[in-house]
Each structure stands twice: as C-alpha cells, then as structure tokens.
Amino acid sequence: MISIKRCDVSIHEAKKKIVFFNLLLYNTYIILYHLRSLDHMSDQEQLRHEILSILKENARIDIKQLADMVGATQTEVEQMIKELEKEKVILRFGTTINWQKIGKPKVYALIDVKITPQRGHGFDALAKRIYRFSEVHSLYLMSGAYDLSVLLEVDSMEAAGRFVAEKLAPLESVVSTTTHFVLKKYKENGVIFDDPENDQRLVISP
C-alpha cells in the first residue's frame, strides 16, 4: 500500500511539472512572437507610430522639436504628417475646451438608442443619418442592451430634448431612446479638467 501511494504521488508531481513546462514553453513562444513582430516593423512604420504618439499628446508641438524627438529631419516629419493626413490616419487636429471657464457652458447628453437593423445595411444606414446632425458630437456602435450611443453637444437641456423628440425618435428603425445628461466633466481626451493642486476634499470627522 505504501509503495502504491508513493507511486501515485510521483505521478501527480510529474503531471504538475509537465503542465508547468508546457506553460513556460507557451509563454516563451508568445514573447518570441511579439519580438519577431517588432523586428519586422520597418523604420518607416516605427517613425509613423512615434509621430502619432507624440501628436496625440501635443498636436501643437513645433515640427523641429518633433523631428528632434523622433530622430528625423523636419522635411521627413512634414512629409510623414502629410501622408498620414492623406491616408486619413490623422483626421483632425483638435482642441479640448473647458467652456465652463468662459461662462458659456455646453450641455452634453449621452443617448442610448435601440434600433431595428435595416436589411442589407445593418446599423450603418441609420448611423449615417444620425451623425449628419450638427448637434451630434460623437456616435458609436455598442454591444449590450442598446445599439447606438450618441454624444450630443447643445446649448441647453431643452435643445437636447427637442433633438430627441423632433429628430432622433421619429427616425425609421428607432425603437427607443434613453438620455443621460453629463453633470460634470472630470477628464476628456486625456485632459484633466479639475486642477489636482486645488482639489479640496471634505474632511470626514470620526
């Protein structure tokens, strides 16, 4: 009986070692695969990625400074940016504005829209009609209980209500809508709206 128990333990330990070894081999394969992918990335592709990453953080950066950061000439960087714009990789250079600071706050509303997809067109046909409205800031196809998520930018809550009642809800294939108003922005496009240094928190006494 003792020898059988010892045999069972040895087999169990051997199985554990085999599982561990296979896991180690798999992880090594994944690491090598990613390293090989990086090696195959051309210098031009790496330059494109570096330029895009920097422009995402600071679209107003001086071209000379950008060229110095990526180790290229100004001409090369300017040409690369033109190519990225032509390929519609760079769609627009934008500015994040805190309208509250100038006394002209905007009203933002997130509208969940449930629709019936059109045969042969799916969600795209209706999405094109919705994003052409000037009030629509952003539009997304979503997973979950609702199909589309509309981000609205208007001057008042009444304007948001009119948009839903007069423009969005009457559209064919729209089944239902649910509107959520943004009460306060803390962060947008990677920019923090509240100054952390001036952040005053309530002191909770024990």
For the chain, what's the residue count?
206
Residue 37 inside a domain? The answer is no
- Residues of the domain holding 146: 99-188
CATH number at residue 112: 3.30.70.920
pLDDT of res. 132: 96
Q: Assign 138 to helix, strand or coil.
A: strand
Does residue 166 share a domain with residue 139?
Answer: yes
- Please tell me the total count of domains within the chain: 2
Residue 75 inside a domain? The answer is yes
The CA-based dihedral angle spanning residues 120, 122, 128, 129, taken in that order and rounded to the nearest 10 degrees:
90
Residue 30 has pLDDT above 80, yes or no: no
Q: What confidence category does residue 203 fall into, taking pLDDT thresholds of 50, 70 and 90?
A: very low
Does residue 111 share a domain with residue 165?
Answer: yes
Beta strands in 82-194 (DSSP E): 107-115, 136-141, 148-154, 174-181, 187-188, 191-192
Residue 152 inside a domain? The answer is yes
pLDDT of res. 12: 62
Does residue 114 share a domain with residue 63?
Answer: no
Residue 147 inside a domain? The answer is yes
**Tens digit of pLDDT for each residue in 137-169?**
999 999 999 999 999 999 999 999 999 999 999
Whole-number average pLDDT of the chain: 83
Output the pTM of the full model: 0.62
Residue 1 has pLDDT above 80, yes or no: no
- What percent of the chain is modeled with pLDDT above 70? 80
Tokens 């570096």, residue located: 50
Residue 171 has pLDDT above 80, yes or no: yes
Task: Among 118-127, 144-153, 188-197, name the one with the lowest average pLDDT.
Answer: 188-197
Residue 206 inside a domain? The answer is no
Does residue 79 share a domain with residue 107?
Answer: no
Does residue 118 share a domain with residue 181?
Answer: yes
Measured distance CA(176)–CA(170) in Å, rounded: 10
Instruction: Please state the rounded mean pLDDT for residues 171-182.
Output: 95
Does residue 135 share a domain with residue 69?
Answer: no
Task: Among 37-41, 65-69, 94-98, name the one with the lowest average pLDDT.
Answer: 37-41
Residue 41 has pLDDT above 70, yes or no: no
CATH number at residue 76: 1.10.10
Going by C-beta distance under 8 Å and a sequence separation of 6 or more, which residues neighbour residue 90?
Answer: 52, 55, 81, 84
Residue 2 inside a domain? The answer is no
